[in-house]
Amino acid sequence: DVKVTQSSRYLVKRTGEKVFLECVQDMDHENMFWYRQDPGLGLRLIYFSYDVKMKEKGDIPEGYSVSREKKERFSLILESASTNQTSMYLCASSSRGTGLSITDTQYFGPGTRLTVL
């Protein structure tokens, strides 16, 4: 079974702190993703990576950065946490599609609930 793990289930930080959220997958997937999930807004893509050291902005990248130094690990960084970044953060991974328009299933981690005070 695919396993995607996230470093923390619950995290409480103060405004202005630098926050690191770590995600590790054990299936040698090329693609990794960070989403945030808020009530009424569904899943929104923050950043994704399709290879080591490669990253692309998703729908809401402002206030976030990412790092992909190793294939299995994808980190989300909040440079200076703000209260509007209080949310559930979900990491996912998938293998590269087998064709130009085929997308393989994304597998999700359990989520990190971040509260910024």
* Binding-site ranges for another protein (CB under 8 A): 4, 30-31, 33, 40-43, 45, 48, 50, 56, 58, 90, 94-97, 99-111
Which of these, 25, 86, 92, lies nearest to 58 by C-alpha position?
Answer: 92
Rg (CA), the chain: 14
| Closest separation in Å from C-beta 21 to another protein | 13
Query: CA distances (Å), 65 to each of 46, 48, 49, 81, in order?
Result: 9, 10, 12, 12
DSSP string, 78-103: ESS--GGG-EEEEEEEEPPPSSTT--
- Residue (17 or 58) nearer to another protein, CB: 58
- Residue (78 or 92) nearer to another protein, CB: 92
- Residue (67 or 95) nearer to another protein, CB: 95
| Closest separation in Å from C-beta 15 to another protein | 25
| Closest separation in Å from C-beta 110 to another protein | 5
Read off the amino acid at residue 10: Y
